Amino acid sequence: MNLAFLLPAGLAALAALVVPLLLHLARRYEQTPTDFAALRWLRQKPKPRHRIRFDEWPLLLLRLLLLALLALWLARPVLSGLDDTRPWTVAVPGVDAGLARASSDARARLHWLAPDFPSLDEPAPAGTPAIGSLLRQLDAELPTGVALTVIVPATLQGADAERPALSRAVTWQVVDGAMPASSARASPPPSLAIRHPAGDEHALRYLRAAVRAWQPSGAATPQIDTSDAPLPPSSQPLVWLVPGPVPVPVTQWISAGGVALLAHESAVDDIVMSPMAWRDAEGAPLVEGAPLGRGRVMRFTRPLRPEAMPVLLDADFPHRLRALFDRPAPAPARVLATDYAPTGGGATYPVAPRDLQPWLALLIALLAVVERWMATRRTRSVAP
């Protein structure tokens, strides 16, 4: 157990201890001597020396203690070396709590591997925990040398792409069972807003067929109109088939967070496009894109005609077109527990010492109340 001060300069306040000493010394001068007439003519004897005398020792000591504690509070004391060194056992939700208790040490502290690490006596937390992140957090918060046992089912859900590297050796105990798979729902097909030049509807047939393939029931019918129609909400993708420079209202719509797919003949100034993953059989890119403000702009590299872009007639054209507007799929998070056992060599983090300021503040407040009571009680003589 070690006591340290985060602000040692606060101990300079100990100089205030002389204040109550001076007050209690000055108190004896408040007594005024009175001469009696019968004693005036007596021979004056030499007075003995007076020693320094302090009155009301309990009150003086209380005031000195109060000032000393206040100086310590200003120095911000912390205490280290009081860490609980009992081993920890954490169980991943999906493991039977009774089985976890039977498999752990009798001295171990039992918790769920979930946010805030609730006790194993509580019901199993709902949801899928981020196993890797929680293990790294627990490893950083536990004192060095505390043994850690992790009880996991045979199949984990919620693992990230990297095995956790911890600063301590972990007992990785695999039991029967599996965490429930996440119920990720497929995103609905996008509802396209298509703007084309008046009198030119040649490319619309391929886009209509692609949208119909996304949802055969016809619920995903595109909103088709000419270029002078109002722009859709920024949450709805836009397909701009008008050749020539893209109007300023359209670029502003994209910069505000919209996603637009331009025809090959459309042009946007001061934007450098990069090839995207959609390529033809020879490896040439079919679509290029770039960010624009808070939105994203894409453009076909070829005219939407079968002779220039044969993929328009391929069976996977609707799926490749939809992939341009879909959000990236989440990374796989289901893994075998034996393949996700933590490795060593992780960074070691010092455990934060215990702050004593709140306890000192409570003690100072209590002593201040007692000091005022002693200084103002009726049975006391004149107070210094």
Task: Answer whether residue 231 shows pLDDT above 90.
Answer: yes
67 and 18 inside one domain: yes
What's the count of helices (H) and strands (E) in the chain, helices before strands? 8, 17
Domain assignment present for 328 = no
Q: Is residue 16 part of a domain?
A: yes
Q: Note the pLDDT of residue 42.
A: 58
The predicted pLDDT at position 114 comes to: 92
At 224, list the tokens: 């088709």
What is the pLDDT, as a whole number, of residue 383? 44
Cα separation, 44 vs 47, whole angstroms? 9
Q: In the predicted model, what is the mean pLDDT of the chain? A: 83
**Could you tell me if 171 and 206 lie in one domain?**
no
Measured distance between the N- and C-terminal CA atoms of the chain, rounded to whole angstroms? 40
Q: Which residues contact 316 (CB under 8 A, 6 or more apart)?
A: none
The Cα 288–Cα 252 span in angstroms is: 20
Assess whether 240 and 282 both reside in one domain. Answer: yes
Are residues 126 and 164 both part of a single domain? yes
Neighbours of 211 (CB within 10 A): 22
List, in sequence order, every residue forming a beta bridge with 298; answer none if it has no partner: 261, 289
- Whether residue 115 is contained in a domain is answered as yes
Could you tell me if 293 and 224 lie in one domain? Answer: yes
Q: What is the pLDDT of residues 305-351, one digit of tens each?
A: 999 999 999 999 999 999 998 876 666 678 888 899 999 888 777 76
> The whole model's pTM is what?
0.49
pLDDT of residue 193: 93
Do 310 and 220 belong together in one domain?
Answer: yes
% residues pLDDT > 90 (the chain): 37
Residue 45 in any domain: the answer is: no
CA 158, CA 120: separation in Å to the nearest integer? 20
Burial class (CB in 10 A: 0-12, 13-18, 19+), 315: exposed
Containing 317, the helix (H) or strand (E) segment is helix 317-323
Q: Are 275 and 295 members of one domain? A: yes
Please give the residue range of the domain that contains residue 364.
1-28+54-81+353-384
How many domains does the chain contain in total?
A: 3
The CA–CA distances, whole Å, from 311 to 207, 242, 306 equal 12, 21, 7
Check residue 233 and give its pLDDT: 92
Query: Which residues fall within 8 angstroms of residue 168, CB to CB, at 6 or more apart?
Result: 139, 142, 144, 145, 146, 147, 148, 344
45, pLDDT greater than 60: no
Tell whether 236 and 134 lie within a shared domain.
no
Q: Are residues 202 and 174 in the same domain?
A: no
Q: Check: CB of residue 112 under 8 Å from CB of residue 45.
A: no
Would you place residue 296 in the very low, low, confident or very high pLDDT band (cuts 50, 70, 90)? very high
Coil, helix or strand at residue 288? strand
